[in-house]
Structures are given as structure tokens and as C-alpha cells.
Amino acid sequence: MKIQVKVKPNSRTEKVSQEGNSLIVKVKEPPKEGKANQAVIKLLAEHFSVSQSQIRILSGFRSRNKIAEVVER
């Protein structure tokens, strides 16, 4: 399942919310050295109740707008 994700780094809280047909993911980490991407993977895994290894970022590694995939096993 592919998901459009909009990331808001350096937030005060960590939260996943729905806006239209995309998810807004707020993370505390800064967008440096992949820290925000790792936090996004962690939050999405918790949100969908899957392991972190089942979440992949397909595009937008250096962008706030990303496409993530939840891999069903």
C-alpha cells in the first residue's frame, strides 16, 4: 500500500494525522542525516501496527513530501 506523506520536522510533538488522502507526520527530529526519515518510519510503523522493516520511503528522501509504502508480509 502506497501512502502520500507530508513531513513536518522540528515539531514539538510526534503525531500522525490524516488530511485528505495523505498523512501529515510531525516529528521532533531535524531534517539532517536522515534523522527525520527514521522518525517518520518509526511513527508510521506504530500507526499501522507493523514493524519498522515493513515501512519503506520510495521517493522524497530530501523533501517534505514523500511517498511511503507499507509492505504486507
Task: Report the DSSP pairing between strands 22-26 and 15-19.
Answer: antiparallel
Q: Which domain holds residue 31?
A: 2-70
The total of structural domains in the chain comes to 1
* Per-residue model confidence as pLDDT tens for the chain (73 residues): 999 999 999 999 999 999 999 999 999 999 999 999 999 999 999 999 999 999 999 999 999 999 999 998 7
CATH number of the domain at 35, please: 3.30.1200.10
Partner residues linked to 69 by β-bridges: 2, 56
Check if the beta carbon of residue 23 is closer than 8 Å to that of residue 49.
no
The pLDDT, as a whole number, for residue 42 is 96
User: Closest Cα partner for 59 from 33, 43, 37, 44?
Assistant: 37
Q: What's the predicted TM-score (pTM) here? A: 0.91
